[in-house]
């Protein structure tokens, strides 16, 4: 199983290199019961200029090494807001039940 400190260390390095607004841990490591087969699910909320969604996710994955499986979502604050206004159940669950690992101004 993946240790909590590994997840927090990864999030801290993402913050150092990419300066996001917020990083939220969701899925089994945040509010479930992780198993040996569980991956780490992270939502990174940040402004993007040249890179969109999946491309930014790939950039982060390449820049910040890790030794555990991970699903990494990257969204802008506007995209998160739009999803919540659309009553997107998936985004609502992440925001309401997820564990905030980092929030700008609250670190």
Secondary element (H or E) of residue 91 = helix 89-97
Q: What angle do CA 20, 31, 73 make, to 5 degrees?
A: 35
> Exposure pattern of 28-50 as b/e (b: 16+ CB <10 Å)?
ebbeeeeeeebebbbbbbbeeee
pLDDT at 50: 66
Domain boundaries, the chain: 4-103
State the CB neighbour count (10 A cutoff) for residue 107.
8
What is 4-103's CATH number?
3.30.460.10
Q: What are phi and psi of 89, to 5 degrees?
A: -60, -35
Report the predicted TM-score, pTM, of the whole model to 2 decimal places.
0.93
Q: Which residues of the chain fall below pLDDT 50?
A: none
């Amino acid at each position: 199983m993946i240790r909590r400190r590994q997840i927090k260390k990864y999030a801290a390095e993402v913050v150092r290199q990419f300066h996001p607004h917020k990083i939220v841990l969701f899925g089994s490591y945040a509010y479930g019961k992780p198993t040996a087969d569980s991956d780490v699910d992270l939502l990174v909320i940040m402004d993007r200029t040249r890179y969109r969604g999946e491309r930014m996710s790939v950039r982060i994955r390449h820049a910040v090494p890790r030794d555990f499986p991970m699903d990494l979502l990257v969204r802008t604050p506007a995209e998160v807001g739009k999803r919540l206004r659309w009553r997107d159940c998936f985004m609502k669950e992440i925001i309401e039940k997820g564990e905030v690992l980092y929030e700008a101004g609250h670190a």
